[in-house]
Structure 1
Amino acid sequence: MGLLSKSGSKKPYFGLRGGWLTFWITVACGTDMTLFGYDQGVFGGVIVTPDFLQIHNLEGPTKTATLGTVVAIYDVGCFLGAVFAAWYGEKIGRKKAVLLGTIVMSIGAILQITSYSLGQMFVGRVVAGIGNGINTATAPVWQTETSQLKWRGKLVVIELILNIAGFSLSNWVTYGFSFVGGGVAWRLPLAFQFIFIVILFATVPWLPESPRWLIAHEHEDEAFTILADLEDKSEDDPFIVTQHKEIVYTCQYEKANAVPWSQLLRGKTPEGKGGTKTMRRLLLGCGTQFIQQMAGINVTSYYLPTVLIQSVGLTEKMARLLAACNSVSYLLFSLIGIPNVEKWGRRKMLMFAAAGQAFCYTIITALLRYSEKEGYDGQKQVASASVAFFFLYYVFFGIGMQGVPWLYPTEINSLSMRTKGAAAGTATNWIFNFLVVEITPYGIQSLHWKFYIIWLVFNASFVPMVYFLYPETAGRSLEDIEDYYRHDPPLLVWRDKEATRTGRPEKYSQKEEEEMRRNSSADLGALRRGSRISNQWVSREGARANSDYDGKTEHGEMEEERKEI
């Protein structure tokens, strides 16, 4: 697809380059995340719809556990989809993975919209979850690998803010249709997600594949062209040549030190001089997704109307209205994260959010304790006051916790592990999402105010966890992060200024400038021939590394070979 150039040949991507090309990639990835948010939020309104509960035989307090499973089984599907992306996503590429996930989501949506039995709804929820799991494991990686350094963090955070927009939209749609009654009240809100599915099918096929994926799979010329198109520069520009060489070198190093899943799952990873701390980086990426889910967000994302009805004592209509209003507040405050994700950095945003959320759950727990205390005169007033702190919780979460846990795994993992690492992080998100969503109805029903203590403790513990263990990734290129882990960094990072500062360390900027000066006078054809030789070396060394784990090429030898190329 494309426009005709003066010579009569078609221009790729309709002739779009630079910022406009990145914009449309963001539209596709953002639509994917909007669909994720809508699909996640819409069921909170569906499960309090009388017609839905009647048709699926979910009415009454004895059905609480089953209702929780109907909601949570979606997360099992998402987990399975993320696992699929971890195993096969790297083989088929970012674009094809997103299209596959969207097709599967379409099938799941149709099954749910047309459901007249609990069994069909279960199947529809699982199938839709599988598609969403594939998409959410892939879209942030695609965005990260096609974004310029100065935009990378902001664009991924924008994606997750669009996730909130989808969540907010679902709350207003279900609230509006609650006045209609009958099957329309829940079937049409579920059908509304096809708007986003159509947008994905209309954009993804003509957009560029990740140049890093192309280089890793020996599509050299296409990768060179896409890098130039994304940066809106010529292919012989020193910056493009430098960037290409760095990606090739990173690919060389990672494939020479690649770790098969069979080794990785047994804890055998390359450490020391030749290693890149694969397992540590994988766990750090998964850890951010664990932090997001165990912060308690889906206690309210899936069940806020239920929480407001059962814990606070509001009517169904008022609970729906407040949930919809809260989603708007959530969306507006999350916008603060866009300009500050690079300015504050990933570490500070996570710690700020966790501390604020711990404070909110402390007040919520205290207020609900008194609202349930027999003989206390102000029960209604303190219960109503807790609503303000549910709203405030979303403010902290939207600013600091919404986007970073999805961004971090795409940055911290190595090139060869990026798809696997992002997918493993997404799988972690969904399996703990399932845990939270499964236990919440029963927890509220049986523990009452004590249920919220769990989320208070978790949030308080996340502040020191991030402070001591998590290196900063803001202001660094993906290749800078590779270089950092090639030099055996310590596990505890809080005393390492290079690891914790927000701005890009000077040594990386100097290295890039020196490389650009050298490449400014280089012959592009020779460099391309060198790149092809490099990737032949990559394939050979990668295969050897996978078959002979202890026979890796040492860093010094690799550096010499790169210089020769």
Structure 2
Amino acid sequence: MGFPVLSNLPAIRQARLGNLKHRISISTADPETAVEDITIHQLVHLEKPWYRVPSRVKLYTLLFPAAIMAYATSGYDGSMMNSLQTVTYWDDYFNHPRGSLLGILSAIMPLGSICSTPLAPLLADKFGRRWGITVGSIVMIVGAIIQCESHNFAMFLISRFILGFGLTFCTTAAPSLVAELCHPKERTTITAICNTCWFIGSIIAAWVTFGTRRIESTWSWRIPSLLQMFPSIFQLATVWFLPESPRWLVSNDRPAEALEALKRYHGEGQETDLVKLEFCEIQQVIKLEKETKLTSWKSLVSTSGNRYRLFLVLCMGVFSQWSGNGLISYYLSRVMDSIGITSTNTQALVNGIINIWNWLIALTTSFFVDKIGRRPLFLVSTAGMLLVFAGWTAASAQFSNDKKDQTAIAVLALIFVYELFYCIALSPLPVAYSVEILPYGIRAKGMAVYVLSTKGAVFLNQFVNPIGLANIGWKYYLVYCVWLSVEVAIAYCFFVETKGYALEEIAVIFDGEKEAILGPIAVIEKDIEVSHKE
């Protein structure tokens, strides 16, 4: 496939330092001062932290409900479906779905997401990131209302397809808007936090259902079903208070608006040195992408660098769902049944606690991604999951023989440890890593592919999981042990580090020093005045 090998990465990093700099005049008291080279990454270190800048506080306050909450809907759904299996009125109303029926009920939502994948990037690229979020939110609100009003299994199934269909529009446009609006100093942390919001939705659903399950009517499941629309309501209420992506504005011949957005949120209302440099990079990169026509679906596979990116994006989607986490997200009650913990009250309580545990770990990791790096986190996460899942499998096999409470508790403890390793990387990083390695011209399309691979993996996984658990019990876990071994090998051989690169500069890792889209603009012709700082 023409992928760069890991041994070449130090040379590639040196190429960046030597060639991806911009000539900037440094203004000092000394008129003889020479022209120096400086990068966006170096300028970012001179910036104040976000909490000391009102404009950035406002930006992130709006981004959270407007874009980041898109992931809460998906998390809400997984936890709700997990919890509804413990609700007697839901189970009785739909005639106790098990096996393939339960599988299709969970898998139909990702199938809806797959069906809307070709449309979502077209909307985000043609009309803007905000319209992608808006359309997706409206569709999901409709789906949640139908889900609440369902009178039979088919109606409930259709409503979940509609929810999935709308979700793709949001999860394609939202990460692009977040990455393209965030200040470079916080971009990695904020984009990493995006996917952790899956757990916010999951926590809310787990505890809402834990409370409503005591209602002695169908409202015990209709209320959680209706509340699934609230993340979308928050998005609709706030997304239009945000500016459009500066990169989208430049791409659509609206550079003045793009510069104004950068000044407002990255320069505290001023055309600072960082704003000037960002704006120049964005203009030049998008101009070259248009000239080279690297903006079509075909562009995803037209160069070796893009094929490498596509491979990593597919890995992110598949790994995030095929690492065994689907057993916990959608079928925890069936897993607990298999180790003798059959009390629905206990199952619902564990579901609520485990989601809080997961979110705290994922959120904490998000703040250290830039300090630790992506590659070390991926390696620790995949290797840790493999070891713990092997122990989980062995303990489950032991329980099938001795039926001891101590063994069941050991399995439950291993599930919590497994989630620790999963959340170290595969909760915060799939979206953040995917969105940053994709250049603007194919970012929306690449994120649609990410959604496609994620939902395709969920569809197959969630359809097969209940069948495997019902037919072969703990032996089904062996499949995940083998697959996690594959994940460790791929992470070690192919996952590259992007720490310390500005969004437009990451191209050099994948395209090389000569072919990178930044190569022709290594030096910006117009000097930028920078005030001297020690």
Structure 2-normalised TM-score? 0.84
Once the two structures are superposed, the pairs formed by residues 393-404 of structure 1 within 5 Å of their partners are 393-404=418-429
Residues matched between the structures, number: 475
Aligned partner of 1:518 in structure 2 is 527
- In structure 1, runs of 5+ residues without a counterpart are 1-14, 272-276, 491-507, 522-565
Which residue does the alignment assign to 1:113? 148
Q: Is the 8 A contact 2:193 2:366 kept in 1?
A: yes
- Deviation, 1:46, is 1.5
1:347–1:471 Cα contact (<8 Å) kept:
yes
- The one of 379, 382, 391 equivalent to 1:351 is 379
1:453 maps to 478
Q: CA deviation at 1:335?
A: 2.7
User: Per-residue displacement from partner, 1:269-291 (whole Å, max 9, x unpaired)?
Assistant: 145xxxxx222212211211111
Q: 1:485 to 1:71 in 2, by over 3 A?
A: closer
| Unpaired segments ≥5 residues, structure 2 | 1-52
> In 2, Cα distance between the equivalents of 1:146 and 1:105?
24
Q: Spell out, residue by residue over 1:179-209, the C-alpha distance to the aligned partner (whole angstroms, 9 max, x if none).
A: 2232111111112233323221210112111
Give a deviation string over 1:455-489, Cα, whole Å, max 9, x none. Answer: 12222222221222122122211111124434269
Partner of 2:345: 317
Deviations 1:247-299 (A, max 9, x none): 1111122223334756458x5x145xxxxx22221221121111111112111
Which residue is equivalent to 1:68? 103
The corresponding residue for 2:290 is 255
Opposite residue 282 of structure 2, the aligned amino acid is I
Q: CA RMSD in A?
A: 2.5
After superposition, residues 520-539 of structure 1 pair within 5 angstroms as 520=529
Using the alignment, how far apart are the partners of 2:193 and 2:100 within structure 1?
A: 35
Aligned to 1:209: 244
* Aligned-partner Cα distance in 2 for 1:46–1:261: 42
Report the AA paired with residue 51 of structure 1. Answer: Y
Contact 2:435 2:443 in 1 (8 A): yes
Counterparts of 1:32-431 in structure 2 under 5 Å? 32-59=70-97, 63-234=98-269, 236-259=271-294, 263=298, 267=301, 269-270=302-303, 277-373=305-401, 376=402, 379-431=404-456
Residue 234 of structure 1: how far off its partner (Å): 4.8
Of structures 1 and 2, the one scoring higher in RCO (CA 8 A, sep 6+) is: 2
Secondary structure of the corresponding residue to residue 150 of structure 1: coil
What's the % identity of the aligned pairs?
Answer: 24
Letter in 2 for 1:54: D
Specify the alignment match of 1:500 in structure 2: none
Change (3 A) 1:335 1:65: same
Query: Using the alignment, how far apart are the partners of 1:317 and 1:103 within structure 2?
Result: 34
Other-structure match for 1:432: 457
Of 57, 60, 63, 1:19 maps to 57
Alpha-carbon distance in structure 2 between the residues aligned to 1:367 and 1:205:
51
Amino acid at match of 2:417: L
**Does structure 1 retain, via aligned residues, the 8 Å contact 2:296–2:442?**
no
Q: Counterpart amino acid of 1:300?
A: I
Given that 2:289 and 2:295 are in contact with CA atoms closer than 8 Å, whether structure 1 keeps it comes out as: no
Could you say which residue in structure 2 is the equivalent of 1:537?
none
Q: Distance in 1 between matches of 2:231 and 2:335?
A: 29
| Residue 127 (structure 1) shift | 0.3
Amino acid at match of 1:319: Q
1:16 and 1:111 map into 2 onto residues whose CA distance is 41
Q: 1: distance between equivalents of 2:439 and 2:295?
A: 14
In the alignment, which residue of structure 2 is the partner of 1:29?
67
* Pair 515,261 (structure 1): closer, same or farther in 2 beyond 3 Å: closer
Give me the whole-angstrom Cα distance separating, in 1, the residues matched to 2:423 and 2:510: 30
CA contact (8 A) 2:124 2:130 kept: no
Helix, strand or coil: the match of 2:182? coil
Distance 2:323 2:225 in 1: 27
Contact 1:149–1:476 (8 Å) recurs in 2: no
**What is the CA–CA distance in structure 1 between the aligned matches of 2:488 and 2:102, rounded to whole Å?**
34
Query: In structure 1, what is the Cα distance between the partners aligned to 2:114 and 2:460?
Result: 12
CA contact (8 A) 1:19 1:230 kept: no
CA distance in 2, matches of 1:263, 1:163: 31
**SS in structure 1 opposite 2:96?**
coil
CA contact (8 A) 1:102 1:132 kept: yes
